[in-house]
Amino acid sequence: MPPIINEEKCTRCGICVDLCPQDVFFGSEEKKTPQIAYPEECWHCNACVLDCPALGAIRLRTPIPMLLCHR
């Protein structure tokens, strides 16, 4: 499941676009809300969430099978 971007909280800084190791946000334009181009490629690494300067602007929906593996 792809990251969810809250457009009201997003500052459009582009850090998540630059940081994503899988280029989930590929093709996003500068100074605009990032677009999720490849949602199936998300590794749920949480890098975009942790490094986003706007708290709560990005959140991940971790699939249930992944949650069970981490327990």
- pTM score, whole prediction: 0.78
Number of domains in the chain: 1
Domain holding 50: CATH number?
3.30.70.20
Range of the domain at 12: 4-70
- Is residue 69 scored above 70 in pLDDT? no
What pLDDT was estimated at residue 71? 53
Q: What are the backbone angles phi and psi of residue 42, rounded to the nearest 5°?
A: -65, 130
Each residue's pLDDT tens digit, 17-39: 999 999 999 888 999 999 999 99
User: Token pair of 2, please?
Assistant: 């792809």
Interacting residues of 22 by C-beta distance below 8 A, sequence separation 6+:
38, 41, 42, 43
Contacts of 14 (CB under 8 A, 6+ apart): 28, 30, 31, 34
